[in-house]
Amino acid sequence: MSKILIVEDDENILELEKDYIEASNMEAQGATNGNDGLELALNNDYDLILLDVMLPGINGFDICKKIRETKNTPVIFVTAKREEIDKISGLGFGADDYIVKPFSPAELVARIQAHINRYKTLTSQNEQELFKNTGEAFVGDKEITLTKKEFEVLYILASHPNTIYSKAELFESVWGYDSLGDTSTLTVHINRLRDKIKEADENTDCIKTIWGRGYKFK
């Protein structure tokens, strides 16, 4: 059974989220302030963390940064303010997604399940030159520095060499169940990956474009 941590200072919202999560056959644990939420997040294993931005004690942004120092647990921010959405979109806090209050409980549960399924798929795949737990990637003996999304794209491709993934498949796997946005975002990440790999070894050309079909790792 999947275990979810909810960090939310509004007890009514917290109980509502718990009810819908538990009705979907998942276990939910709650904290009503940032300090308790951070302690629970760091000292327990959760399948996903639902994290309000504005909290007493430590805010959600700082909690997420602390979590990302040691864990890759999926994090979904919950927010009600436009300026917070702008911060989430523009800065690298390490969250996987965000949802805006007021939200549909069905949408909340769907997003939670989608991120848990994606994370389990990624972590269960065979690990070779990429170290999923640490986010490290090497070309020969040279480590390359990747963003979280760049790593996830490369991880999916490298875990299944010579398997062709369409742009839509890769985009949905990395950016979420409903593919908000467009696949040009994926193209940018593929180009950055190629540049970083080439910088480490100019003779390495492992991400192939299969015209009309997508990409594969050779």
Whether 85 shows a pLDDT value over 50: the answer reads: yes
Percent of the chain with pLDDT over 70: 85
Least confident of 8-17, 118-127, 194-203, 207-216: 118-127
What tens digit of pLDDT does each residue of 108-122 get? 999 899 888 877 766
> Exposed, middle or buried: residue 70 (CB in 10 Å: 0-12, 13-18, 19+)?
exposed
Q: Across residues 166-178, what is the average pLDDT?
A: 78
Helix or strand (DSSP H, E) at 36: helix 34-43
Strands in the chain per DSSP E: 3-7, 27-31, 48-52, 75-79, 97-100, 130-131, 136-139, 142-144, 207-210, 214-217
CA-based nearest residue to 62, from 82, 98, 35, 86 = 35
Whether 146 shows a pLDDT value over 90: the answer reads: no
Model pLDDT, residue 160: 81
Whether 57 shows a pLDDT value over 80: the answer reads: yes
pLDDT band at 177 (very low <50, low <70, confident <90, very high): low
CA-based nearest residue to 75, from 39, 22, 111, 26 = 111
Q: Across residues 179-188, what is the average pLDDT?
A: 70
- Residue found under tokens 């939670």: 112
Mean pLDDT of the chain: 84
Q: Across residues 148-159, what is the average pLDDT?
A: 87
What tens digit of pLDDT does each residue of 7-51 get? 999 999 999 999 999 999 999 999 999 999 999 999 999 999 999
- How would you classify residue 184: left for phi > 0, otherwise alpha for psi between -120 and 50, otherwise beta? alpha
